Amino acid sequence: MAPDIALASEATSSRLGIQRLARLRIRLTIWYVATFGLIIILLGAGLFAVISYQLSQQLDDSLSGATMELVRAARIREMEAAAPRGHVIDAVDELNIPDRILYLLDTLGNPVKGQKVDNWIRRGAKDAGKLGRVTTQSDTPEDRTLRLHAVRFKLASGQQLVAVAVADKVELEDKFADLITAFVVIAFAALFLVAAGGFILVRKSTAPIERSIEFTRRFMADAAHELRTPITILRTRAEVALQQPRDAANYASVLHGVEAEARRLGGIVDSLLVLARADAGERQIDKERIFLDDIAVDAAGAAEVVARQKNVKVLVDEFEEAPVEGDPILIRQLIMIVLDNAVKFTDAGGQVHVGVSMHEGSPMFSVEDTGIGIKQDDLSRVFQRFFRGETARSRTDGAGLGLSIASWIAREHGADISLTSEPGKGTKVIVTFPPVATVVSL
Q: pLDDT digit string (tens) for 88-133? A: 666 666 677 777 888 888 888 888 765 688 888 889 889 998 899 8
pLDDT of residue 272: 65
Mean pLDDT of 251-277: 68
d(CA 151, CA 145): 20
The residues, ordered by sequence, that sit 6+ positions from 129 with a Cβ below 8 Å of its Cβ are 106, 107, 108, 109, 152, 160, 162
Architecture of the domain defined by 1-207: 2-Layer Sandwich (3.30)
| Tens digits of residue pLDDT in 359-384 | 888 888 888 888 888 777 777 677 76
C-beta neighbour count of 65 within 10 angstroms: 14
Query: Which CATH number is correct for 288-432, 3.30.365.10, 3.30.565.10, 3.30.420.40, 3.40.50.620?
Result: 3.30.565.10
Mean pLDDT of 76-93: 62
Q: Do the domains 288-432 and 1-207 match in fold?
A: no
SS3 396: coil
d(CA 407, CA 389): 18
Q: Which residue ranges make up each domain of the chain?
A: 1-207, 288-432
Return mean pLDDT, the chain: 76
Q: Measuring CA to CA, how many Å separate 227 from each of 142, 272, 404, 436?
A: 86, 10, 17, 41
Mean pLDDT of 298-325: 84
Q: State what percent of residues in the chain have pLDDT above 90.
A: 1
